[in-house]
């Protein structure tokens, strides 16, 4: 295969990945809406679950409403403030510098790699 063929395939794959990401985003949004609707239905019926027959597989299924604890993500600024406050309570002299050193320790060693960029020419 020629280099032109490789470049064309590269562009097609990148385009397909973008399309798949957009499709998955729409599907995740629809999933959240459906789960919210089903959850609202189960709460209105004041039941923790219902039994139904699936149209796709033909087998019996159960919908069960579970309450789970979920922790939302903190922003990087909130994380930094919390760690610095914790380091202060431990009696660290310079919590800001200690925090930055801690972050640097968590990073891996840099690895050099080649990246292909495609630019449109006029």
Cα-Cα-Cα-Cα dihedral sign, residues 45, 49, 52, 57: positive
Structure confidence at residue 50 (pLDDT):
84
| Average pLDDT, 10 consecutive residues per value, the chain (122 residues) | 91 96 98 93 86 81 88 95 94 92 91 88 83
Structure confidence at residue 45 (pLDDT):
87
117's tokens:
């960029």
**Residue spans per domain, the chain:** 1-65, 72-108
Q: Whole-angstrom Cα distance, residue 21 to residue 18?
A: 5
- E strands, 1-122, in order: 49-53, 60-64
């Amino acid at each position: 295969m020629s280099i032109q063929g490789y470049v064309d395939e590269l562009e097609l794959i990148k385009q397909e990945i973008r399309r798949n990401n957009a499709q998955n985003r729409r599907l995740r949004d629809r999933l959240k809406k459906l789960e919210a609707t089903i959850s609202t239905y189960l709460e209105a019926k004041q039941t923790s679950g219902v039994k139904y027959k699936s149209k796709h597989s033909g087998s019996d299924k159960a919908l069960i409403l579970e309450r789970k604890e979920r922790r939302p993500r903190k922003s990087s600024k909130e994380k930094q403030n919390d760690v610095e406050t914790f380091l202060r309570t431990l009696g660290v002299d310079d919590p800001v510098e200690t925090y930055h050193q801690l972050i640097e320790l968590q990073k891996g060693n840099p690895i050099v790699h080649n990246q292909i960029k495609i630019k449109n020419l006029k």
